[in-house]
Structure 1
Amino acid sequence: MHEYERKQLLERIEREGATVGAEIPDAIEIDGESLDLRTIVFETRRRETVPAEERDRVESVKTKLRRERNRRVERLESASLSYDEGETLAESIVGIDRALHALETLEPADVGAERDAATAADRRRWMRFLRKALGQDGDAGDRRARGGP
């Protein structure tokens, strides 16, 4: 592969939107272990949230995918490859990126706790606003004591 072809492939994998239309590989081999990547991603995405008991497994898969992506990028950057081999490698990197994006955009399973925390924060802000508006805030009370509005 010529150096300019290598640079084109590297640019392609780093391009914003490179994963649009890309397919998640059915399976991927990482450190001698075969992962049914498409199944893992679709089963996890089907739930829309990551249950607590699955969170460690999903994080482990994401870590393995990031590590494998880095290995493949390094190989694309420096290994002696034919253009077809480089093209296949670049496509696999984009597929890994697609899978990572799908897994990283999942919400934690404890959405209820997050909603409750947001509601409590909203209530605190509302109460602060009301205290200020009614002059029960320290600054507003001082101004009235001095004859201010």
Structure 2
Amino acid sequence: MQAYERKQLLERVEREGATVGADIPETIEVQGEEIDLRTFVFEIKRRDTVPPGERERVERAKKNLRRERLQRVQRIEEGDITREEGEELARSVIGIDRALNALESLGPTDLEREQKAQQAADRKRWMSFLQKALGKDDGGSSRRGR
């Protein structure tokens, strides 16, 4: 592969909109293990939130996908590969990015925690407002003086 071809492939995989219209690969080999990536992503995305038992599995999958993506980009950068092999690697990197985007958009733990914290803060503000409106201070006694 020529240097300019390598550069084009690297620019393509790093382009911000590279995943638009890209498909998640049906299967992918990660760390020597064949994974049904598309099925896994759609199974996880189908739920509103990721159950606690699945969170570790999803985080592990994201970590492995990031590692695999890095290795494939490095093969494009440094490997003695043909143009066709480079094209295939670039397609797979973009597919991995697509899967990672789908898994990252779940954000189950932070959103749930944030929502609960927001609800607690709203309740506290509402109780404070009611106490002031009813003429009670923090101790629950009536206000002194007018």
Shift of 1:87: 0.7
Per the TM alignment, residue 85 of structure 1 is displaced from its structure 2 partner at its CA by: 1.0
Residues 51, 109 of structure 1: 8 Å contact kept = no
| Change in 2 beyond 3 A, CA 1:130/1:17 | farther
Cα shift at 1:42:
0.3
**Counterpart residue number, 2:106:** 106
Q: How does 1:86-97 map to 2 (within 5 A)?
A: 86-97=86-97
Post-superposition CA distance 1:31-73 (Å, at most 9, x none): 2211110000000000031110100111111111001001000
Structure 1 unaligned segments of length 5 or more: list them: 133-149
Give matches, 1:1-149, under 5 Å.
1-108=1-108, 114-124=114-124
CA distance in 1, matches of 2:131, 2:74: 59
Partner of 1:138: none
The alpha-carbon deviation at position 23 of structure 1 amounts to 0.5
Q: TM-score, normalised by structure 1?
A: 0.79
Q: TM-score, normalised by structure 2?
A: 0.81
**Displacement of 1:124:** 4.2
Residue 128 of structure 1 deviates from its aligned partner by 7.2
The range that moved more, 105-114 or 79-88, is: 105-114
Deviation, 1:84, is 1.3
- Specify every segment of 5 or more residues in structure 2 that has no aligned partner in the other structure, as ranges: 133-146
Aligned amino acid, residue 2 of structure 2:
H
Count of matched residue pairs: 137
Q: 1:87 to 1:111 in 2, by over 3 A?
A: closer
Q: CA deviation at 1:25?
A: 0.4
